[in-house]
Amino acid sequence: MIKENGNLHVSTEADMTNGSPPDMVQTQEQFIEWALKEYERPLIGYAQGFVHDWERARDVVQDTFIRLCQQDVAKVRDGVKTWLFTVCRNRALDVLRKDSRLVEMDEKKLEKIPASTVSASSLLEKEEMHQRLEIYLQRLTPNQREVVVLKFQQGLSYEEISRVTGLSNGNVGFLLHNALKRLREWMPRDLAESNEE
């Protein structure tokens, strides 16, 4: 809950999930601060999947936000989530091209920090499950891996994934469908069931 012009503004889940800033964000400075707070960590994780180095991923995200500062807020406001992931992806690919080496994604490092109320044994089980899942994810094609990460780790819609990757909505759906089908075939039943929870 935030007090705004004498009125209380209650942050709703819609404010957080639709990728658009709340109405109370009006100036460019407020917009940039909001975008940093909402997307810096997910973008670092996403970039790290490309560049495989936390510091370089931070540099990629910093470049992404510098480019955001140079944009007209009105033009990117409603699609800022997609815009940020697209620019971040392109910048990460530029870094890889510059280094002329391909690095496979490491989704394990995209993992969100668990709540402190979780027991050590359940954290260990979760880490083990993620390590096992990572083995299967690495067997997917790079395109399949990327759309799976964008969909399930970053929570992007098909349309947003399409804009980030430059693939058609149909292609995104096809890649996701085939990736999930392959994962179900490869993964042991216990791991597949624990991921559905």
* CATH T-level topology, domain 118-197: Arc Repressor Mutant, subunit A (1.10.10)
pLDDT at 197: 47
pLDDT along the chain (197 residues), means of 10: 37 46 80 92 90 90 92 89 93 82 41 50 71 81 89 87 91 91 78 54
Strand partners, 3: 8
Domain boundaries, the chain: 1-103, 118-197
Rounded (5°) CA angle 42-16-54: 10
